[in-house]
Amino acid sequence: MAKKTKTNSTELVTIHDQKLSRAQGGELHQTAEDGFDVLTTSQGAPVADDQNTLRIGARGPALMEDFHFREKIFHFDHERIPERVVHARGYGAHGFFETYDSLAEYTRADIFQRAGEKTPVFVRFSTVAGNKGSADLARDVRGFAVKMYTKEGNWDLVGNNIPVFFIQDAIKFPDLIHAAKQEPDRAFPQAQTAHDNFWDFIGLTPESMHMVMWIMSDRTIPRSLRFMEGFGVHTFRFINAKDESTFVKFHWKPKLGLQSVAWNEAVKINGADPDYHRRDLWQAIQSGNFPEWELGVQLFDQEFADGFDFDILDPTKIIPEEVLPVRPIGRMVLDRMPDNFFAETEQVAFMTQNVPPGIGFSNDPLLQGRNFSYLDTQLKRLGGPNFTHLPINAPKCPFAHFQQDGHMAMRNPVGRVNYEPNSFGKGPRESPARGYRHFPAEESGQKVQLRPESFADHYSQARQFFISQTPPEQRHIVMALTFELSKVETLAIRERMVSHLLNIDETMATEVAHRLGMQSMPKPAPAAVPTRQDLEPSPALSIVERGPKRFEGRKLGVLVADGVDAKLLKGLTSAVTKEKGLVELIAPKVGGVTVSDGSHIDAHHMIDGGPSVLFDAVALLTSPAAIEDVLKEATARDFVADAFQHCKFIGYDVSALPLLEKAGIAQDLDEGVIALPGEDGLAAFVEELGKLRVWGREPSVKLSSASPPVA
C-alpha cells in the first residue's frame, strides 16, 4: 500500500501550478496517433475537427450546438480591448443612398420599393491587418462597410474591396488573422503579411489561392478610397412579398473608376504621408467633390446556381461579370464627415446579421459564422449590450422593444409593463404581416463537420484571375509574390507556395522561383480538383482595363519656381479644373513664388513635403532665371525621377529641360514626357493625363521587372 501523506492548501496550489507548468510545456499533453499534441477546447475536451463548423448536410446551415466553434470565435472576438482585432485602422463618412428603380419583383425591402428613395448611410473604410496607428497604404485588403438607416431598420452591408476571401469556413478565421498579424513572440511585422507565419498558414490552406492572386495584385494598394470597388463577398437572398427568393451578390462601383499605386510608390507614400487615404477622403468631401459609387447586383435563381461551374455558397469564388452582368440599382454619395471621429467612426458597430425584411442569407458557411460572431465583438468592444443606444448605431426609424437595463442604458421601458404578452394592452407586439420573415428553405441531412465536394476546386478561378490581368498587372503579382516570399525565412514554406503557384500558372511560378533563387522547382501541390484551362479571361477583373480614361478626381502636382509663366500656369490650372481635377503647387518654399506678371502665389507644399508620389501626374513649370536654384534642390531631382520611375505623365516647359537632365531621364523621354504647348493646347495634355500611367515605360525603369511580361 502506498504511504499516505498529508497535504495542506498551500501545497495543493503549488502542486497544481507545477502540473500546469508541465502541461504548458508539453509534458502532460494528450498525444494523437501521429505524435502531435491533441487539440482541445479550453475545457480540455479533445477536438475531432478544427476545419469545419457543424452543419446540416454538406451545404446546410451551421448549428448552434457546435461548442468548439462557439468557444473559438468567442475567445477570438474578445482578444483586444478596445481596438478592433481586425479593421482597426478605419475612416468613415456620412452620405445617402438613392434607389434607381423599384425592385419589388425581387424584394420586399422598403429601401428598394420606390424610385428616387434616399436613405441615410454611414460608410467605414479600413485596412484589415494593421493596428490603429499603422499606415494607410499597407498592402492589405480594404474593408468596405456600409450602414444604411432604412425605414425598416438598419441594414449593414459589411464587405471588402475584394469579392472573395481566404477561407471557406468561419471556424478558420482566428487562425487566418493570428497568422497574418505580427508574430506573437516579437510583435512584428505589423500591417504586413511578408513573414513566415502568414505564408505558412496560406501554404497549408489551398482554398486561399484565389485570394492570394487578389492580395498580390494592385487591388490591395489602392490610390484612394474613392477609387476602389466594394463587394458583399457572400451570396445573399432577396425575398419578395410572396416569400419568393432570388440569390443576390452585391457590388459597389466607384464613379471615378479604379486606380492603384505601384508598390515602390506605396512605400514612399507611407513615409511622406501615412494618412494619405484619410486626407484624400477628407479633402474630397470638404471641397465638395463628393465620392460616389453605384450599387449593382448579380441576381440569379436556383437553376442558375445549380448549373454554374462553382458552388455559389463558396466565399472563395466569384461569378464573372461576363457570365452574369452586374445590374445597377442605386447610387451612394458621401457628402459629410463625422463631427467626431471617436463617437462615430470608432464606435460604429457593423454586423452582417443586421438586415431589414426582404434581405436574407444563404448557407455560405463563412457568412453563417460572421452572423454568429459579430454580436460578441460589439459587446466586447463597446462595453455592453446597449451599443445600439449610441447615436451612430441607433436606427433612424421608429423602434420599440422590451430590452432593458444593462451597462450604459440610455433608455428603458416606461411604466409597469416590460414584457409581452400582457393584459394591459401596453407595449409593442409582433407583426406577422410587416415583420421579418426568414426564407423557408427546406434543409435535411446528417449533422456533420465536413467540406462539400463542390468547394474543392482551389486553383481554377485563381488562374482565371491571373490570365485576366494585363501584362503590367501580371508583373506586379510576380514581384509582390517575390517580395513577400523573400521575407520568409523558412525555405520549405517558400517551396510549398511555389508548388501551389504551379497549379495556377507555370510561367508565373517559374518566374517567382527564379527571382527567389531556388535551385530546383518543386512538384505541383496535390490538387483535389485539376485546374481548369477552359475558363475565359474576365476583363472586369483588371484595374487597367477598367481604368477611368479621364483625370476627374485626380491631382496634378505642379513644381513651380520664381518667374514661372503666369499665363501657362493659369491655363494649365483652368484645363485641369475643367476636367474636374485638382492642381496643387510645389515650390522651394511653402511661402510660394513670384510669377512672371509680378504677382505672388502661395504654394501648397514645399519640395521636401510634396514629393511626386502624392500626385497622379506632374508638371514642371520653372523659368530660365530660377532653374539653377531649382537644380540645387536634391528633392526636386527626386520629384522628377520618382514620377518617371512610377510611370506618370510629366509635362514641362522648355526652361525645365535641365531638371530632366539632372534627374537622369533626358535621354529616355517617351510619349509620357510631354513638352507643354501654349495655353491653347493644354486641354489635349490634360486629356492625355486620363490614361494615368505610361505602362510601356515600366520595363525600362525596372519598377517591377526588367524582363518581358509574364503573359
Q: Which residues are catalytic?
A: 87, 160
**Pure H helices in 318-459:** 341, 365-382
3-class SS of residue 574 = helix
Cis bond leading into 526, ω under 30°? Answer: no
Look at the alpha carbons of 185, 189, 192, 196 in this order and tell me if their dihedral is positive or negative: negative
User: Alpha carbon of 270 to those of 191, 266, 369, 635, 639: distances in Å?
Assistant: 12, 6, 34, 17, 16
Q: Scanning the structure block, which residue is given the C-alpha cell 517559374? A: 510
What residues contact residue 119 under an 8 Å CB cut-off, 6+ apart?
A: 96, 97, 98, 99, 111, 148, 149, 150, 151
3-class SS of residue 298 = strand
Single-letter amino acid code for the residue at 511: E
Secondary structure in 3-state letters for 189-229: CCCCCCCHHHHHHHHCCHHHHHHHHHHCCHHHCECCHHHCC
Q: Are 546 and 539 in contact (CB under 8 A)?
A: yes
Is 585 exposed, middle or buried (CB count within 10 Å of its CB: 0-12, 13-18, 19+)? buried
Secondary structure in 3-state letters for 263-283: HHHHHHHHHHCCCHHHHHHHH
**Pure H helices in 503-655:** 506-515, 566-578, 627-631, 634-645
Rounded-to-integer distance, Cα 709 and Cα 511, Å:
10
Q: Are 393 and 275 in contact (CB under 8 A)?
A: no
* Biggest alpha carbon–alpha carbon distance for the chain: 110
Cell numbers linked to 228? 476602389
**Pure H helices in 327-446:** 341, 365-382
Q: Among candidates 527, 535, 524, which has minimal Cα distance to 456? A: 527
Q: Scanning the structure block, which residue is given the C-alpha cell 457570365? A: 323
Q: Are 657 and 625 in contact (CB under 8 A)?
A: no
Q: Are 124 and 71 in contact (CB under 8 A)?
A: no
Q: Among candidates 123, 127, 120, which has minimal Cα distance to 146? A: 123
Rounded-to-integer distance, Cα 61 and Cα 217, Å:
33
Q: Are 701 and 644 in contact (CB under 8 A)?
A: yes
Q: Among candidates 471, 604, 523, 531, which has minimal Cα distance to 209? A: 531
User: Alpha carbon of 406 to those of 77, 351, 379, 380, 383: distances in Å?
Assistant: 20, 20, 11, 13, 10
Rounded-to-integer distance, Cα 653 and Cα 618, Å:
12
Neighbours of 602 (CB within 10 A): 10
Rounded-to-integer distance, Cα 244 and Cα 106, Å:
8
Q: Using only the alpha carbons of the chain, give its radius of gyration.
A: 29
